[in-house]
């Protein structure tokens, strides 16, 4: 597995990609995930969604510094990272 660096996450966020961090807990089979995506470029604001077992736990709007703190913490906890292009109407 390729280790994702925080610079990869910053590059993804700045180019409009969705950052998805996920961890599967073997002890009880629980899945915990976090998603970050740019909402607006001027005074950057990011949508943050936390899910546990596919149920939305919380949704907030964060600045880049807060997103980087969260991502660093999740990387430390060994969450897997997916950097994906967001769905658009052109994908139909």
Residue 64 domain-assigned? yes
Residue 90 domain-assigned? no
Q: Which domain holds residue 38?
A: 6-85
Say what the pLDDT of residue 43 is. 80
Residue 23 domain-assigned? yes
- pTM greater than 0.85 (yes/no): no
Residue 91 domain-assigned? no
Number of H helices, E strands in the chain: 2, 5
Per-residue pLDDT averaged across 24-46, rounded?
Answer: 87
Residue 45 domain-assigned? yes
Q: Report how far Cα 32 is from the mean position of its chain's Cα atoms.
A: 12
Question: Under DSSP, is residue 37 helix (H, G, I), strand (E, B) or coil?
Answer: strand
Say what the pLDDT of residue 4 is. 82
CA distance 64 to 67: 5
The number of folded domains in the chain is: 1
Say what the pLDDT of residue 54 is. 76
pLDDT digits (tens, 9 = 90+) for 67-91: 999 999 999 999 999 988 876 555 4
Per DSSP (E only), the strands in 1-92 are 18-25, 30-40, 45-52, 55-62, 80-84
Residue 92 domain-assigned? no
């Amino acid at each position: 597995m390729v280790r994702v660096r925080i610079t990869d996450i910053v590059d993804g966020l700045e180019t409009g990609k969705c950052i998805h961090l996920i961890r599967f807990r073997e002890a009880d089979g629980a899945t915990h995930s976090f998603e970050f995506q740019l909402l607006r470029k001027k005074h950057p604001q990011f949508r943050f969604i936390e899910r546990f077992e596919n149920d939305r736990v919380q949704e907030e709007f964060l600045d880049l510094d807060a997103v980087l703190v969260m991502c660093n913490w999740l990387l430390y906890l060994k969450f897997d990272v997916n950097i994906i292009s967001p769905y658009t109407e052109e994908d139909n």
